[in-house]
Structure 1
Amino acid sequence: MRITMITPAQPGSKAGNRATAERWETLLESAGHSVDVVTEYHGEPCDAFIALHAWRSVDAIRKFRTNWPERPLIVALTGTDIYRHQQEFPEETLYSMEAADALIGLHSLVARDIPTELADKLTTLYQSADGPEAFPEPRKKAQERGFGVCVIGHLREEKDSLRAAYAARLLPDDSRIQVVCAGKAYNEDWRAKAEQEMASNPRFQWLGELDKGDARQLMADSLVMVISSVMEGGANVVSEACRAGLPVIASDIPGNVGLLGNDYAGYFPVGKERALADLLYKVEQDPEFLGTLKHQVSQLAGHFMPEKEQAALEQALRQAVQRCSERH
């Protein structure tokens, strides 16, 4: 099929939507399709249309539906679609969801948080990641600096990006935890907050935005990763951590629980740095607990294989084609 895929993230962006679009392009082309990834759509013909982001892509979705009502449309739901834009911009977001022949959700609990009548359109797709062989060896110098905790993702409200830094301030004096954050500041306010925190918190370092190789080195140098988000559609960095065997400390939101499972041992209440500090200290001081988390993420690694992601994309495409033919 000739597939057009729209993403709001420009070429060269390190935003999650751009990484997802490029990975899906590769997976779909390896399955025999041709894919054109665009950031604007003007009504050009294609055999199927995939929109990343229900709200941000609504104009393109309207245009595609108007010009090509008989062709299949797939909409991939982001965390902000599900947990913010449904409430803030219901008309546009629900239009995109209702117009779709198939929906893609990136964690197993999405069906709970969208309108019940749309749940039968939903395919759950776990974003894939490279395996441990793609990660470098830990650097000895990094390990000597202390117990490394990484936070990877753009600095923004949804990510609650400095929560681990705030938690680190509450650690006992004997803790060797060092929190290293990597990600682009969403705006100047976030940049200022990160720089101020780094200046006043000896346990915190902000590296800014890293390329893929340097981000993987940071993960390899770390003993734990924190994902403290207040909302997530299903973060690819969790997939990467599981595939790399890197234990995760995660906020107890649906987007994390829907990837790591109800029985995962490393959750803390969202936004609560005291609870996060306690959990970080436990993981540092208790090798058995660290081992439990490592075992759990390693057991989950099989969910995040490229072939499984490719199969889920193909399933969503087949579902969209079938629904389309039923409509016409």
Structure 2
Amino acid sequence: MKDSSIWQPWLRETGLNKQHVIIISPATANANNGNWQTASRWAGFLSSSYDVSVMEEWDDSHCDLMIALHARRSATSLARFAQAFGHRPILLVLTGTDLYRDIHSDAQAQASLQLATRLVLLQDAGLQQLPPALRAKACVIYQSAPQPPDTPRVRADARFEVIMIGHLRTEKDPLTFMRAAAVVAPSRIRMTHIGGALDAALGRQAESTQRALPQYRWLGDLPHAQTLEYLAASDMMVIASRMEGGANVIIESVVHKVPVLASDIPGNRGMLGDEYAGYFPPGDSTALAALIDRACKDPVFRTILSSQCKERSGLFEPARERAALTSAVRELLAVT
């Protein structure tokens, strides 16, 4: 069911010649997840040149170009738009669940791939997931995060702070983080998880783990700005996901100079590179705990991770993302 109350125009300006771009984001601001951050940021990038609206589902309004996030969840809007305006372009952004699950088994997601004029991947390893015939219409746009102020970190104590950021759902694999908390060795380690319980059973497990382990705490869903404050004060960030399209939290960690420990999955390799030293096998809490222990005890290891993250930072600059996005949009609108 459509709900027009969940969308708003972004910085709408008067002007008879402005083309209208609609961004379909199944995630809204209340979801506070990576897809919403992408939709919000891209709306800001495009708003100086186009009349931009963000909505959860297409409301049949005039549109010169549709940008849709998520092949399966945006499939209905995308199909209706293609039927109504078959000659107008569609730019489809493929998420982690698209690339590493849905496009291989879901008919709606597969139909979206065919209807899209251009496919956008958020890291280059995702190209291998596409059928060879569709790779020619795909491009990679790395996401970005603004550079934070270069201020010293404020510490209340000498704890080694490890953070995981992501809603509690199976794809993010929060259980591996919880189980690692039970076996990390140094007593000064504290492991903090920020994210809402989208899966009630995982929420109950987080509460149980918090009661049982003083080194683990679950803070629930927090505003993005507050989450970044916790991230900036951390020594290490963990991403334990089973699938990722191009995680915003990796970018935010890199720009905040917080090294990453990442599950060894294609989406994370596409962000951090094949040579990155901080990978652990997906779901392996013992291996994750060993990496956390090593990072806590070994400053040389931390320096290696920090240096490797810094080497990737150029990919995640806002000017680079803005240029790639605006170039793709201009190209698509020029041929309509």
The answer to whether the 8 Å contact 2:183/2:289 transfers is yes
Counterpart of 2:276 in 1: which secondary structure? coil
Structure 1 match to 2:268: 256
Structure 1 match to 2:13: none
Counterpart of 1:128 in 2: which secondary structure? coil
**Structure 1's 320 and 94: CA in aligned 2 closer, same or farther, altered over 3 A?**
farther
- Counterpart among 156, 160, 168 of residue 181 in structure 2: 168
Where do residues 211-226 of structure 1 align in structure 2 (5 Å cutoff)? 211-226=223-238
Counterpart of 1:75 in 2: which secondary structure? strand
What is the CA-CA distance between 1:273 and the residue it aligns to? 0.9
The answer to whether the 8 Å contact 1:7/1:52 transfers is yes
Counterpart of 1:298 in 2: which secondary structure? helix
Q: What one-letter code is carried by the residue in structure 2 that aligns with 1:152?
A: I
CA distance in 2, matches of 1:248, 1:42: 40
Q: Deviations over 1:190-217 (max 9, x none)?
A: 2101101111122210000111221112
Structure 2 match to 1:198: 210
CA distance in 2, matches of 1:84, 1:238: 21
- Counterpart among 35, 50, 73 of residue 67 in structure 2: 50
The answer to whether the 8 Å contact 2:178/2:206 transfers is no
Q: Deviations over 1:62-114 (max 9, x none)?
A: 1110110111111000101111212341x111110111110110111111011
Structure 2 match to 1:65: 82
Where do residues 285-296 of structure 1 align in structure 2 (5 Å cutoff)? 285-296=297-308
Structure 2 match to 1:9: 27
Where do residues 111-190 of structure 1 align in structure 2 (5 Å cutoff)? 111-133=127-149, 137-141=152-156, 143-144=157-158, 146-172=159-185, 174-190=186-202
Where do residues 19-58 of structure 1 align in structure 2 (5 Å cutoff)? 19-30=37-48, 32-58=49-75
- Give TM-score, length-normalised by structure 2: 0.91
What is the CA-CA distance between 1:255 and the residue it aligns to? 0.8
Q: Deviations over 1:150-205 (max 9, x none)?
A: 00111110000131221121223x44211000001113212101101111122210
Greater RCO (CA < 8 Å, at least 6 residues apart): 1
The answer to whether the 8 Å contact 1:137/1:220 transfers is no
What is the CA-CA distance between 1:34 and the residue it aligns to? 1.6
Where do residues 215-254 of structure 1 align in structure 2 (5 Å cutoff)? 215-254=227-266
Q: What one-letter code is carried by the residue in structure 2 that aligns with 1:224?
A: M
CA distance in 2, matches of 1:15, 1:286: 33
Q: What one-letter code is carried by the residue in structure 1 that aligns with 2:199?
A: N
The answer to whether the 8 Å contact 1:102/1:319 transfers is no
The answer to whether the 8 Å contact 1:175/1:281 transfers is no
Structure 2 match to 1:269: 281
What is the CA-CA distance between 1:45 and the residue it aligns to? 2.0
What is the CA-CA distance between 1:298 and the residue it aligns to? 1.7
Of 195-204 and 248-257, deviating more is 195-204
2:88 counterpart of 1:76:
no
Of 308-317 and 67-76, deviating more is 308-317
Counterpart of 1:225 in 2: which secondary structure? strand
The answer to whether the 8 Å contact 1:101/1:319 transfers is no
Counterpart of 1:103 in 2: which secondary structure? strand
Q: Which runs of 5+ in 2 are unaligned?
A: 1-18
- Counterpart among 113, 116, 123 of residue 97 in structure 1: 113
**Structure 1's 124 and 288: CA in aligned 2 closer, same or farther, altered over 3 A?**
same
The answer to whether the 8 Å contact 1:165/1:203 transfers is no
Q: What one-letter code is carried by the residue in structure 1 that aligns with 2:94?
A: L
Counterpart of 1:23 in 2: which secondary structure? helix
CA distance in 2, matches of 1:319, 1:92: 26
- Identity, in percent, stands at 38
Q: What one-letter code is carried by the residue in structure 2 that aligns with 1:132?
A: P
The answer to whether the 8 Å contact 1:225/1:241 transfers is yes
Q: Which runs of 5+ in 1 are unaligned?
A: none
CA distance in 2, matches of 1:12, 1:312: 27
What is the CA-CA distance between 1:302 and the residue it aligns to? 1.4
